[in-house]
Amino acid sequence: MWQEFLYNFIIYIIFTYSVITLGFYLFIGVYSIGETRRYLNKSSFTDHSLLASSPYAPSISILAPAFNEELTVVQNVRSLLSIYYNQLELIVINDGSTDDSLHKLIIAYDMEPASHLYYQHIPTRLVKCIYKSRNPVYHKLILIDKENGGKSDALNAGINVADSRYLVCIDVDCILEQDALVKLISPFLQTGEAPVIATGGVVRIANSCIVENGRLTEINLPRKFLPRTQALEYIRAFLLGRMAWSRLNGLLLISGAFGAFDRNIVIKAGGYNTKTVGEDMELLVRMRRYMEEHKLPYKVTYIPDPLCWTEVPDTYKILGKQRNRWARGTLETLKLHRVMFFNPRYGLLGMLSYPYWFFFEFLGPIVEFLGFVAFIIFIILGMVDWPFFLALLAFIYTLGFLFSLFAILMETYTYNQYKKKGDLTQLILTAFVEPLLFHPFIIWSAVRGDIDFLRKKKSWGDMERKGFATKLETNS
Amino acid sequence: MKILIAEDEPLMLKTLALRLRKDGHEVITAADGRQATDYFLNADMDMVITDIMMPFASGLELLEIVRRRKDKKIPVIVLSAMGQENVVIEAFKLGADDYITKPFSPVELSMRVRRFTSAA
Amino acid sequence: MYTIRPQYLFYLTLCFIVVIITLIICTIGMTVQKKRRLLRKDKIAGQVSEWLAETVLEDDRDAAVKGAFNIPGNIQVILRKKKALDIVLDELILLRKSFNGSAGYNLEKLYRQLQLNKLSLRKLQSRRWHIKIKGIQELASMKQEQHLNNITQYINHSNQYIRTEAQTALVRYWGYEGLQFLDFTDYPVTEWQQLNLMHLLLQQPAINDAPIGKWLNSSNASVVQFALKLVAEERDSRHYEAVIQCLGHPNEGVNVQAVLCLGQIADTSIIKTLIVHYKNANEMMRIAIVNVLEKTGTSRGLSFIRKKSTTDSEVVKLACLKHLQQHSITTRAM
């Protein structure tokens, strides 16, 4: 008897959870429309080009950490240098590359060591040298050569050296549109009372797109299955999810590949955390927390313009590693800031944003995974009520498919990047097949990430002990 | 003269081309930076007029490419919506011969082009 | 037994499938519509571009008939459709941004001749804010002064975008005189708006009796900031005293702006005042003061910077040291 009770209990939990999740996603989807429409309407009459050259436009530093990118780094920097914005510094941070990246950059841009004064607001690994170009054409470029310390550490070094009001943190291999900066910086300038402390931008998928001279010349829907499903996923997450959260002013994550931040607030919040793999989310949460704790009004916004293009993993192996890292990053951030959980002191952040991340982004994969395991067990025990189960499966499947189609509709309504013949059919088919071929893998990678997180916790202790031991030896 | 005009607004491009054709020049039009670079490298231009903000390659990049040719000094006029000092300075540093800020009069462009023809 | 019967789920699933089919149809419909719209726009733009280019370039002095432009028969046929008029309107507006002089005049004349001002007015009266704004922009760029009253009513509108566009339109028409809204606006003038307005004003001749003094004493901090920028840009030293007053303004942004302004309008006598205010200044203002002192190039200024480079907070020290470094480079070069 208890078996049946347990069975029903588990079924109801899974059912309720799925319905709430999908219902919430749909709400987010619909809620995002207002924000996206407002942005599109605003774009229809705004001319941002003035910002590129006005002496009253704010100063911006682009921070691009680089590690072992010798094949593409010179080209990437060239494309970044061609962005038109006058008060701009492009800071490339060579994070102790073991290949030829540094040397190639020095040669290509005629760099020489320069005495560049800066204050180390945030402690970082050793900065070996700062280079500037002899050629006035490249006067915006600053190259930092430092000891390897990871992406966060490199960004922190960049933050220290930067001498501007706003920071734009990107991945060095991202392709930015010509007007990316002026559009990204606009929200900071158009705000009324509450200052904007960070703005995120949509990251689009560059796989199968044609890139010439560091510029995107042709947009194509990714040909391979994995990048294509990620394209769909990104549309859902960015166009629907983030726009909705931006409207609520509850955004917790700005992609490390493309985001703008108020440098002062970043420094006051302490810079990037070098001990987490989810540094992008963790910084934004900490910045928001700083503002909440100091009771300062602020906004975090998001713009849906496709301004940044990047390549995504096209093999299951690399994708798995990425999602594993994302899961660990989420957990690390949630753990670090657990004080906010349902804490009214943190307003919307604590009462809605954080719980959402906990219950849906973190617990979601776990619940799904356990549900699947339970299902297998029930099959073995011969307890499965097939009509009910099949009906439930069809219900959840179609609801998920519906959500993806809604995302596709929104993409067509807004920027309509995939206009070629057959693109729409491909996207719809991808959405149909995704729950079978893509979603389970993502769930599995996330669960593995969670397990790895728990495991590492235990093994950190070991690593620390080893570390201390060596230190003592060298001292004596 | 054989003049290349690079400008991404189609009607503006057409109007300027018409103006210069009326003046008797041969005009090649390019709607973006990539086209402009292609045309420049494959034909023998006597003069280049370019906008700054264009898709695929900015006017300043085009200017750099033009200046790489050492055998012939090709006059370059830069058009732009931005008229601030710093942009002008950058254009001249890269070797522009003249600079017109929008809004401007097509007649004025015509006059400035004439200055280079008489010099040539 | 279960409270969730499979049938219910099944019916819901069917509903979802209906919604799914609707979504797919909508998406396809939207794609087709967008493509069609684009093709139509290109087609019409292509058909009229030759004629538009000729008309724009028409030289006043040659035209035998100084009246209306000649519109060829085939163009007239095209222009009978409203969609075509919309497209032509967009093209004219776009072109007006780039051309002035006789071409600009021709564009305005054509705009009136084709009665496109009626379209713009209709937009102005729309309930949808972004359409209204388009109307404002079109009337402003085509210098339709007779509709100014229609626009003036929006300069203190609660919708931020309508408000700023109306303000911009007035400044576009009247230059400095269009800045009257600064007298009474209680909304903040955003940085973007200030940037925009400065850009427009720089293209106009300054006038002597702009009530800058009044604005410098405004209760709206953003108005004071903007007024300080104006004073700095025009190098207008008549407001010297008022600017010094702003050094003690409660708003930090105003303090910094006042320092920057003094850097433009004052002579070396300002050094003493700045040093006095330095004591109570916050970091941002201190850095601004240091920057201005460096600009004066006086030994007094430099020795102050030297002193602060060792005693003040890290951020200020950095600014001082940078200036000293720059100064030593230039003196070495000399």
Q: Which residues does chain C have within 8 Å of residue B105's beta carbon, measured at their own beta carbons?
A: 99-104
Query: Looking up tokens 């990714």, which residue turns up?
Result: A222
A402 touches chain C (CB under 8 A): yes
Give residue A299's Cα distance to chain centre. 18
Contact check, Cβ <8 Å, A136/B56: no
A222 CB neighbour count, 10 Å cutoff: 23
Count how many pairs of residues, chain A against chain B, have C-beta atoms within 8 Å. Answer: 44
pLDDT band with cut points at 50, 70 and 90 for residue A378:
confident
Coil/strand/helix, residue B84: coil
Contact check, Cβ <8 Å, B82/A136: no
A384 touches chain C (CB under 8 A): no
C10 CB neighbour count, 10 Å cutoff: 15
Can you state the percent helix, strand and coil of chain A, rounding each to 5? 60, 15, 25
Alpha-carbon span C103 to C59, nearest angstrom: 8
Best CA proximity match to A143, nearest among A127, A131, A161: A131
Best CA proximity match to A266, nearest among A151, A124, A130, A160: A160
Tens digits of residue pLDDT in B84-111: 667 778 888 888 999 998 889 999 999 9
Q: Which residues does chain C have within 8 Å of residue A190's beta carbon, measured at their own beta carbons?
A: 160, 190-193
Contact check, Cβ <8 Å, B64/A137: yes
Interfacial residues of C (vs B; Cβ cutoff 8 Å) = 45, 49-50, 52-54, 56-57, 59, 91, 94-104
Give the mean pLDDT of C324-330. Answer: 83
Give the mean pLDDT of A174-186. Answer: 92
What pLDDT, on the 0 to 100 scale, is given for residue C144?
A: 86
Say if residue A474's pLDDT is above 70. no
CA distance A53 to chain B (A): 6
Structure tokens at B77: 């006029």
What pLDDT, on the 0 to 100 scale, is given for residue A467?
A: 35
A428 touches chain C (CB under 8 A): yes
pLDDT band with cut points at 50, 70 and 90 for residue C36:
very high
pLDDT band with cut points at 50, 70 and 90 for residue A262:
very high
Alpha-carbon span A163 to A178, nearest angstrom: 22
A52 touches chain B (CB under 8 A): yes
Tens digits of residue pLDDT in A449-460: 999 999 875 444
What pLDDT, on the 0 to 100 scale, is given for residue A106?
A: 96
Higher pLDDT, residue A231 or A455:
A231
Q: Which residues does chain A have within 8 Å of residue C6's beta carbon, measured at their own beta carbons?
A: 387-388, 390-392
Is residue A222 reached through a cis peptide bond, with omega within 30 degrees of 0 on the bond before it? no
Alpha-carbon span C193 to C198, nearest angstrom: 8
Nearest to A391 among C9, C188, C196 (CB): C9
Residue of A nearest to B64 (CA): A137
Structure tokens at C123: 């937009």
pLDDT band with cut points at 50, 70 and 90 for residue C2:
low
Say if residue A274's pLDDT is above 70. yes
> What average pLDDT is seen over chain B?
88
Give the residue from B11, B21, B22 with the most C CB atoms within 10 Å of its CB, the best one to mutate.
B11
List, as one string, the DSSP characters of A184-198: HHHHHHS-SSSPEEE
Give the mean pLDDT of A242-252. Answer: 94
CA distance A329 to chain C (A): 32
Best CA proximity match to B13, nearest among B65, B49, B62, B42: B49
Say if residue C7's pLDDT is above 90. no
For chain B, 120 residues long, give each residue's pLDDT as a single digit of tens. 899 999 999 999 999 999 999 999 999 999 998 999 999 999 989 999 999 888 888 888 899 899 888 788 899 999 987 666 677 788 888 889 999 988 899 999 999 999 888 765
The three-point CA angle A163-A167-A169 to 5° equals 130
Tens digits of residue pLDDT in C47-98: 999 999 999 988 766 554 567 788 888 889 999 999 999 999 999 999 998 9
Nearest to A178 among B53, B82, B83 (CB): B53
CB burial class (10 A; 0-12, 13-18, 19+) of residue B85?
exposed
pLDDT band with cut points at 50, 70 and 90 for residue A463:
very low
Contact check, Cβ <8 Å, C99/B103: yes
What pLDDT, on the 0 to 100 scale, is given for residue A62?
A: 97
* Torsion of the alpha carbons at A5, A11, A13 and A15, rounded to the nearest 10: -150
Nearest to C91 among B11, B103, B108 (CB): B11
Nearest to B58 among A49, A84, A86 (CB): A84
Nearest to C100 among B12, B19, B104 (CB): B104
What pLDDT, on the 0 to 100 scale, is given for residue B88?
A: 79
What pLDDT, on the 0 to 100 scale, is given for residue A456?
A: 79
Contact check, Cβ <8 Å, A178/B34: no
CA distance B13 to chain C (A): 9
Say if residue C24's pLDDT is above 80. yes
Q: Which residues does chain B have within 8 Å of residue A138's beta carbon, measured at their own beta carbons?
A: none
C-alpha pair distances (Å), C46 with each of B5, B18, B21, C11, C112: 19, 15, 19, 52, 22
Tens digits of residue pLDDT in A76-93: 998 898 887 888 999 999
Using only C-alpha atoms, chain A has a radius of gyration, in whole angstroms, of 24
Q: Residues of chain A with pLDDT > 90: what percent?
A: 74
Q: Which residues does chain B have within 8 Å of residue C59's beta carbon, measured at their own beta carbons?
A: 107
Q: What is the ipTM of this complex?
A: 0.90
Say if residue C302's pLDDT is above 60. yes
What pLDDT, on the 0 to 100 scale, is given for residue C64?
A: 46
Best CA proximity match to A197, nearest among A291, A59, A57, A278: A291
What pLDDT, on the 0 to 100 scale, is given for residue C32?
A: 94
> What average pLDDT is seen over chain A?
90
Contact check, Cβ <8 Å, A405/C318: no
Contact C68, B69 (CB under 8 A): no
A186 touches chain C (CB under 8 A): yes
Coil/strand/helix, residue C289: helix
Query: Looking up tokens 């309720």, which residue turns up?
Result: A16
Contact check, Cβ <8 Å, A189/C191: yes
Nearest to B84 among A53, A212, A215 (CB): A53
What pLDDT, on the 0 to 100 scale, is given for residue C91?
A: 94
Alpha-carbon span C289 to A150, nearest angstrom: 38
pLDDT band with cut points at 50, 70 and 90 for residue A236:
very high
What pLDDT, on the 0 to 100 scale, is given for residue A9?
A: 84
Say if residue A462's pLDDT is above 60. no
Q: Which residues does chain B have within 8 Å of residue A86's beta carbon, measured at their own beta carbons?
A: 84, 86-87
Give the mean pLDDT of C142-166. Answer: 91
